[in-house]
Structure 1
Amino acid sequence: MSSPHDDFAHSLVREVLAGPTTLRAHPDRPAKLLVPRPDGRMAGIDLTPFEAEPQPMTAGHYFHGIRSVDELLTAYREARQSKPFEEDLPEALEHVDPYAREFLDGVLARARRFLTDAEAKLIGDWVGRLDVYVAVKAIESLLYSQADLTLLKIAPRLGWTVHFDHLAIRCGSSAHRDAERVVENLRRHHGYVPSQVEGEDFYQFEDGWNAYLLYKILENGQVLRLFIDQSDADNPTQIIQHWNHVYGYTAHHLAIRATRFEEGRRVAVGLSKLMHTMEAEGIAIMTPTGDYTDRLLLQVFTRPERNREVPERIREVLRTHGAELETVIENAKLLELLSRWETSPELAERFFALYDIPYERDNPLHSAPIYNYFLPEQAAHVIRTSVQTAA
């Protein structure tokens, strides 16, 4: 017997196939589309939304009405103390260098010196619509990377809404079950759930790492996605465990996208438009991926924010694993830009009804992408891109 989520996915497939598209119907699974991959093979993607109960917008309590840098940093500390984060978990810091704390303290100290009150208000307004976990991690990225903050600054004059899409948290190694520990904490204390769709809860990659995928929808309609990844136990040179050793559990990258309201419906800002807009602001863009999905999911990294202050004692150990690792470890933060094709207003109303949320067509948080998950091939591509162009 099909569920409302299954029936909704069938409608999504029909909507996509009703227009001009390179995507094809799956012969056996009415909730899936077939996507022609660049290597000539076909990939199947499932459009069934994740099942979840709407959760409170917990960040609003701390970040509502922020007017200054001091208020933002105070709210950040209070939000961070309100629930268990990774650093509060037994054994989570066993393989994290003390420099990770210095790195984060430095981010906060620089914000106190250089962030403006107007920027602090902009950040507070944006993260206040999220939950405590994402708000804390997003602030750490926004305070460190000018690229992350740029789109928030310019979106209002362009008539765009900037949406949080996902965070990637770099854990250590599966030898220590580092990602599993983080996932358990997120499920138990922060209200995240894996998708019920087979294969959208865990990815295993050929190049030596794996990732758990978690989801949440807030009562205000905001969808939150987390990418919790780690190196495989039998791959001691794989980069993720070393990122975790140096930077702890700060988000490796923040992923955001933009939509605009046009002719009575919400539409995605295309990736090429996002890229050109950011480049005009002086933000360098890497190699995009996803053209083969016919707009369902397009993504690209901006050039990594480089950290030249990694201590020599850490660099010395990294050099024993190979010369490249020392250079790549300087990629401290990345911004990922995405574009997800939006549903029609009629299907957007049905999407939010799955979570008992009344759809408001002009509500900027009521974005309803056709495809709500990740694509393993694209995830692997953006990671390789960030590594290969690090020098």
Structure 2
Amino acid sequence: MRFMLTRQCPLACCIVAASLAGWAERSTETPDPDAPLHERIKTLEALILANHWNDGLILPNVIFPPAGEERPVTGNHEDVAAHTAFYLAACSFEYAVMREPAVRERARALMDALLRLEQVTGVPGVVARGMYKTDKPLWHEKAFFFEHEWHDSTTMPGYRWEGDLSSDKFTNFFFAMSIYWELCADEAEKARVAGFLDRFVGRCVDYNFKLVDVDGKMTLWGNFCPDLPHENLNALEMLGGLKATYRITQKARYEAAYRRLIDEYHYDDEAILAKVLWPDEWKTPWDDNLAAQSLYVLMRWETDRDLLIKYRMSLNRHWFDWQKQLGKRGGHVYWFPMLYQVLAGEQVVGEDVQKILRGMGGLARGKRTYVIPVDGVRREVESEWEEASPSVLMGYWFGRHYGIIDPTW
């Protein structure tokens, strides 16, 4: 029987059933391009829950048998934390719109999974990129990212986790968790969010604004440090992280760190230039997405007029390029015009943009030959793969939350 998510069944029960049943519940449905947007979104979400849900974590790229396992653990774990965070944000916006208890339970399950990414490392404030349950390393660990960043967990025996967290995951965490805290979490959950951000961002502050892994060394892309050369985008991200953490924890150390980076190191000026405008080869949609997440926090929670002007300058610089890219790129790019409209207060989502939004899609499938070890011999194995993007769900429910996307579309 194929797993299908319906509004009539308790969602938490569906998730558990899918997890226990493995690929017996795999969905092969494809969103109908001619169907209304809200139906395509439901189909995409059902696919994510059926094919990409790994104990509450979202594996964005799944490899199916025979190369993959009989459960959704084979694939690229590098961005598991990011996609899980996007889905948490999506569920939080959805709960704010629909007020359905099942959606809130799903968000809580995602939050549980994100917290396990810290628990599995054994060090408070050190967070994994991804993790999975296994009694031995599987072949995908050598096929994606850095093989040496995989570890056996000492705090969760029977699990493997991937380290070397980067600045983009730092941003994904404070963005998604701040939305969950604001729109979806009850008081107990708010305390859990505050505790996590205090440990996670606090460790970064303690190490002079660097992400430091279990080996005591700064991660490859974990540099926000004012004493080291860093990208302007990283300055914007750190300001966003500190603003969110102060708002949620109310601990003065984070406001003090925020002011120090501005007053002594001029991170607010660097934030203006976070967007690369030239050359085109240096412009990336993922950097745009990180800036968008940071600005969403900063421009709603900052009260200093001078700083708000600078953040608006950064937003304008991004919008200068974003409006040229509308319709050319998918995924999280769908929400850029909606974000600009919300933060700038300018009506930019007209008929042309609405047409683009109605065409939202976030699914890709195909076949590929993988070279994997089988009985000690490297063999070529052809398998199907699937990519699904929770960032599309996040963009959709963001638009619904702010009244930009019509529920009848």
Normalising by the smaller structure, the TM-score range is: under 0.3
Give TM-score, length-normalised by structure 2. 0.24
Q: Determine which structure has the larger helix proportion and give its number.
A: 2
Q: Determine which structure has the larger strand proportion and give its number.
A: 1
